[in-house]
Structure formats: C-alpha cells, structure tokens
Amino acid sequence: MNGNKAEIIRILQSSGGKPVSGQEIGSKLGITRAMVWKYIREIRKDGYEIKSSPKVGYALKSSPDMLYPEQIKAGLETSLLGREILYYNEVESTNSIAKELASKYPEGTVVIAETQKKGRGRMGSEWQSLPGGIWFSVILKPSVPLEYTAKMTLVAGLAVSKAMRELGVDARIKWPNDVLIHGKKVCGILTEVDAEVEKIDHVILGIGINANVRQSEFREEIREDSTSLEDEVGKPIDRIVFMKQLLFELEQQYIKFTTQKFSDIVSEWISLSDTIGKEVTVTTPVKIIEGKAVGVTDKGALLVKTKNNVREEIIAGRCRYSK
C-alpha cells in the first residue's frame, strides 16, 4: 500500500474515532487537501468505512477484516518482527515465498496471506488454509549452529501458545510444535532451514492458525482432531489484535533464545506442554519409539522412557499419543 494511504489510516486510527480535518492530515503529510480526499476514496475502496463531514473532517468508523500490513503495524510492540510485512490475498504457500525472498529481505520480515492454495504441512502433508485463518511465515537469520533448529521449533510453539492464552483459552503444546486446545489442533508450525556447512543461513518459521475458521469447514480427515480459535472462544477473534500479540510473543521468545540459557525456555515450554506424562509413539526416520514422554532436554529433544526402562532422546519425529 502507498505510504500516504497507510499514514492516513494510522492518523485516523490514533484519533480514536474523532474526526480529523483534511487540512490537518494534509499538513502532517505535506500534501494538499485534494490529495487527502483522493487517498480517502482509495482507502474506502480497500474496505475501510470513513465518515466525512464537511468542515469537520474524516472519522474512521470501521476497518476491514483483512490482515493488511498497515493494520498489523499500527501500535505493534516489536522492534524486529513485522517491521516489514509482505501481504498477499492468495498464494500457493507463504513458506515458499519467504524461502525465495529470504536473501533479499531483512530478518524479521513477515509474509502473510488470506488463503493458501498449496499450504504445506510437516512431512509433506497438505495444510488446509481457508479464508479467516492466519497463514504466515517469518524470515529469521540467527547466528547459531544448525543443530539449534529443534530449539527454534519449541520457541515458536511456546510463543503461539502464550499469545493464544491471552484470549483466555487453554492452549498447550504437543511436542515438537503443534498447539492444541482441549486436545485438538489449532495451529501447526513448519520450520524450514537453509544452512551452509554447519551454520544456519536463514530459518523460515511457517505458522498456520485456525483463527476464524469453523470446525465444520475442515476437510473430513482432520475435522475430528482440529479446532479453531473462533470455535473455542465462541465468537470470531480480532485477527489483527491477535497477530500483534503473536509477533510480540514471538519476538520476546526469540530474544530469549538468542541471549539466554535455553533451559529457561524449556522450563516454560514444559509448563505449557500437553505431551509430558502421556504415552506416546514417536516415528523417526530410523525407528519407532513407544513409551512415556517424561521431559524435554536442553537441546529441544523429547525424552521418552520405554517399557524396558530405556530413556530415548528424540530430536525430531512425528509424535502420536498412544492412549
């Protein structure tokens, strides 16, 4: 969106519904009143409801339910994440776009879309991405060794759960990084890494949230095990407010990850874990491990105690609950 349009929206939003004169807006932006009027008409076409009263000015009555960058950025309390947001109405996959653009865009850039035609899930699965959800990818460039990827996955799951808990729902993390409410999946995270030798070049954190999507809209195979924020809260959520909170939490956890001991993150992760204490079956590329999930290590690995009392440390795999 044009910078002047974004700035006009910001001015109208920060006036809290009170009218602002075309003169005042024009002088703030260094443009004429006629130009302000031209932009107001364009902003209306984007779905904003703006009342204009002669000699009084313009007042914002409502904003569209779209994940427009200028809406997310207004009052966003981050210094890195979401400073640059690339918005699309429909894409194949935000992770694919973020991967292509990672070398050209700064760390913290967000790629967000209203829908995805070929949303990608873990292990090659398809990720259903209907309108009303929140589908986005963040480009990160941490200077850490490749083996830290598993830890980043936990960081993302923790941030999502914390942001959701602000809505009053009991969001919990299923290792490694699904977020569940009442045992049903509400968010999936796909972490993709590009590394040279043993050092990470960039990480794409792809986050898919069933926000304002109804359970009945999910395809049949996943319907029973999935839920949405709308279903859990009992009404549609404000996706913009939620997105701001999520980027804030993600940045907080990311700062902790790059500056503090990982054990601090692990203990918070464990406090919100849905998996610890459960009987699990974990499938890795080399074996299947059955037992009780008893902890998470400082490497981000799941600790499983098998029937033979062997403690297995699993760094990556698909986890299913056995009972």
Residue for token pair 């204009």: 52
Output 132 or 188, the one with its CB closest to ligand BTN.
188
- Tell me how far, at minimum, the Cβ of 92 lies from ligand BTN, in Å: 8
For ligand BTN, the binding residues (CB under 6 A) are: 93-95, 116, 119-122, 125, 127, 129, 135-137, 178, 188-190, 206-208
- Tell me how far, at minimum, the Cβ of 84 lies from ligand BTN, in Å: 17
Output 36 or 211, the one with its CB closest to ligand BTN.
211
- Tell me how far, at minimum, the Cβ of 129 lies from ligand BTN, in Å: 6
Output 49 or 90, the one with its CB closest to ligand BTN.
90
Strand-pairing partners, residue 178, are: 174
- Tell me how far, at minimum, the Cβ of 133 lies from ligand BTN, in Å: 8
Report, in angstroms and rounded to the nearest whole number, the Rg of the chain calculated over CA atoms.
22
Output 61 or 118, the one with its CB closest to ligand BTN.
118
Show the CA angle centred on residue 261, arms to residues 260 and 263, nearest 5°: 135
Contacts of 217 (CB under 8 A, 6+ apart): 130
Q: Which residue is nearest to ligand BTN (CB)?
A: 188
Which amino acid would we find at residue 38?
K
Structure tokens at 80: 């890195």
- Tell me how far, at minimum, the Cβ of 159 lies from ligand BTN, in Å: 15
Output 135 or 269, the one with its CB closest to ligand BTN.
135
Sign of CA dihedral 47, 108, 125, 185: negative
Output 94 or 273, the one with its CB closest to ligand BTN.
94
- Tell me how far, at minimum, the Cβ of 160 lies from ligand BTN, in Å: 11
CB 85 within 8 A of CB 78: no
Q: Would you list the DSSP string of 125-186?
A: -B--B-TTSEEEEEEE----BGGGHHHHHHHHHHHHHHHHHTTT--EEEETTTEEEETTEEE
